[in-house]
Amino acid sequence: MSSATDVNAQHDGASSTADWNKYTNRSYPWQRAVTPFHRLVEHEYDGKGTEESPYLVHWLPHDDPENPMTWGEYSRWGLAIFVSVSTLAVALASSAYSGAVDSIGAELGGSEEVLILGVSMFVLGFAIGPLFWAPLSEMFGRRNLFLMSYTMMTLWQAVSVASPNIGALIVFRFLAGAFGSSPLTNAGGTIADCFKADERGLAMAVFASAPFLGPSLGPITGGFLGESAGWKWVIGFLAIFSGTILIIGFFLMSETYAPVLLRARAKKLSKATGKHYLSALDVGKDTSLKAQFAVALSRPWQLLVREPIVLVLSIYIAIVYGILYSFFAAFPLVFQTLRGWSPGLGGLAFLGVLVGMLTGIGYIVVYENPRYVRETAKANGKMLPPEQRLGPSMIGSVLLVIGLAIFTGTNGPSVHWIAPIIAGAPFGAGMVLVFLSVMNYLIDAYLLYAASVLAANSVIRSVFGAAFPLFTNYMYQPVGCPLATCGVHVGAGIALALAVLCVPAPFVFNKYGPTIRSKCKFAAEAAALMDKMNREAEQEGEGHDEKNKEKSGEKAPRDEEEAVETDRTAASSPHRERSHGSGRDSESDAATMGEEGSSGISGKKNNKAGAADAA
């Protein structure tokens, strides 16, 4: 064990607190809280300080100012709101373009299919995120990656304004989407870094609303701005918006990723003391960029091929996502072509979807999250079966069908325009319920492999979101089927049929999920890990009960000492448990995005559960 005495002796016993504190990190607007260096040196760590047995660095068990979990509420909530707005800006940019398609076509030319590529290629860029930005965040941290990627996204948005032709605009849009996918990948992890699992529900609800609200607000913003000022002002507004967020982020975006922060701390301790220190989160783990990319580029595909749960539910989410993005090509046909609405008014047709999404988020926050917390409390802190997460998706799958069925039957010009807009509400609510519920289920079912599962899901989802708008016109205007009398119902009917085919999925997994998971390699390993966590939680609970029974006046000093030791163990045990497991799974720290991005919304109380909580 390391102690102040050991280290000071090595330095001739002359080092004072002031001498050590010259190594204390500087305070910046984006990183105000710093831990005095003498506290880091004086703390006792596991290990011997040698190259063979380095001191294992973790957060100090009591009041470590640099631990994001200990920051004040204003700091944590300010960061949560900021990353949510930064994600909203990216989602908004993906769809605002659709409101300016008429203006772009008038100036740059191009067929309907070519023009809609501006939406498709931007969304296709989202597929880059899980494959590249997650491994890079493991090496360079969330703050540095955010500033770099958001700078490039803002640059490509600005360059798009000067596009000389439609081809250049489409390429610039793809590059903007590729760099813009970084906050989609890592912003949720920032929230997971700052909020404990039982505090995270509301923060994650705020964050989770961004990728849903952005696509709904985009056509409204782009429609009115493109109609009044032209397409260049639409793209220019997006560049100004993201540029403003970038400037604010320079002063507000903090580094919160525990592996990166502890790695830097270990490096500084090693330099200052001459001893060997290592982050407890890096024990037994290959932290090289090559290893991170190897996992990010290979494991998602292994899971898709070998795990039917991942394949089926990823396709389900991708179909729902594709239908949403197909509306960016379908709504102009339904409301502008058939009803003669302007692009601005046509954008307002998405208000139904927007209201439905807000309703779905409200259901999760008001009912589902508290229900799950209560069930966890009844289980005495044990992890609940993953199938407990599927309730909202079963409701959502039905709501999707109801919304699309109403839209299919009422989207013709002979029916009042309010009917198809109202149809958007159950669709929007169903989409949110299915999306968040399925994400939570996949995370709980795969634990250490959740990052790769969500990466696979994100890639397929983005590909579908990019592809659906490209053939929407053919769905709504098939050969020999006029749009007004036939095509408008056929196109929506195809989307309805796809939704109907997917309805059984959450019901089947809810009933047969445990059996299916037991026969799948990765899911079975995750289930074994869950059982281990539950046994440990049960043992800890029994130990706590015994301690309470033993409490008496004469044993108080002993109990106090045990409590201190328990605190120390609790502070370091997640790192130890993590390091043992990471030898076979080098992705767990990079997982934080996805897990947190949706799992936190259900307020998991077991702080051991999942890589995000361990980080």
pLDDT bin (cut points 50, 70, 90) of residue 380 is confident
- What integer is the mean pLDDT of 562-591? 37
For the chain, how many structural domains are there in total?
1
Nearest to 97 by CA among 127, 117, 111, 125: 117
Residue 322 confidence (pLDDT): 92
> How far is 477 from 480, CA to CA, in rounded Å?
8
- What integer is the mean pLDDT of 375-384? 80
> How far is 451 from 79, CA to CA, in rounded Å?
23
Beta bridge partners of 279: 57
pLDDT at residue 5 greater than cutoff 60: no
- What integer is the mean pLDDT of 154-165? 93
Check the CA dihedral 315-320-325-329 and report its sign: positive
Contact 225, 103 (CB under 8 A): no
C-alpha triplet 346, 348, 350: angle, nearest 5°: 100
First to last CA, the chain: 23
Contacts of 357 (CB under 8 A, 6+ apart): 209, 212, 213, 216, 428, 429, 431, 432
pLDDT at residue 484 greater than cutoff 60: yes
- In-domain check, residue 175: yes
> How far is 304 from 301, CA to CA, in rounded Å?
5
Contact 558, 418 (CB under 8 A): no
Tokens coding 513:
């999920």
Contact 281, 589 (CB under 8 A): yes
| pLDDT tens profile 66-109 | 899 888 888 999 998 999 999 999 999 988 998 888 889 888 88
pLDDT bin (cut points 50, 70, 90) of residue 556 is very low
- In-domain check, residue 529: no
**Which of the pair, 65 or 454, is modelled with greater confidence?**
65
Residue 49 confidence (pLDDT): 86
- In-domain check, residue 503: yes
Mean pLDDT rounded to a whole number for the chain: 81
Residue 197 confidence (pLDDT): 63
Residue 169 confidence (pLDDT): 94
pLDDT at residue 584 greater than cutoff 50: no
Residue 544 confidence (pLDDT): 54
- In-domain check, residue 344: yes
Report percent pLDDT > 70 for the chain.
83
> How far is 350 from 220, CA to CA, in rounded Å?
7
| pLDDT tens profile 442-464 | 888 887 787 788 888 888 988 99
Check the CA dihedral 447-450-453-454 and report its sign: positive
> How far is 191 from 79, CA to CA, in rounded Å?
8
- In-domain check, residue 87: yes
> How far is 291 from 51, CA to CA, in rounded Å?
22
Residue 237 confidence (pLDDT): 94
| pLDDT tens profile 234-271 | 999 999 999 999 999 999 899 988 888 999 999 999 98
**Which of the pair, 591 or 25, is modelled with greater confidence?**
25
Residue 542 confidence (pLDDT): 61
> How far is 158 from 188, CA to CA, in rounded Å?
26
> How far is 506 from 253, CA to CA, in rounded Å?
38
pLDDT at residue 564 greater than cutoff 80: no
- In-domain check, residue 335: yes
Range of the domain at 470: 69-255+289-516
Contact 58, 69 (CB under 8 A): no
C-alpha triplet 327, 330, 331: angle, nearest 5°: 80
Report CA 38 to chain centroid distance, whole Å: 36
Q: 479 — phi, psi (to 5°)? A: -60, 130
- What integer is the mean pLDDT of 296-317? 88
- In-domain check, residue 48: no
Count CA atoms within 13 Å of residue 401 on its CB side: 13
Contacts of 233 (CB under 8 A, 6+ apart): 225, 226
pLDDT bin (cut points 50, 70, 90) of residue 430 is very high
pLDDT bin (cut points 50, 70, 90) of residue 439 is confident
The CB density around residue 164, as the number of other CB atoms within 10 Å, is 8
pTM: 0.78
- What integer is the mean pLDDT of 33-46? 86
pLDDT bin (cut points 50, 70, 90) of residue 507 is very high
- In-domain check, residue 543: no
Nearest to 134 by CA among 580, 577, 459, 439: 459
| pLDDT tens profile 172-205 | 999 999 999 888 878 877 887 888 766 666 777 7
Identify the DSSP state of 275. S
> How far is 593 from 185, CA to CA, in rounded Å?
6
Q: What is the CATH number for 299?
A: 1.20.1250.20
pLDDT bin (cut points 50, 70, 90) of residue 601 is very low
Residue 501, CA distances (Å) to 312, 407, 441, 504, 586 in order? 11, 17, 20, 7, 36
Residue 135 confidence (pLDDT): 80
Report CA 267 to chain centroid distance, whole Å: 29
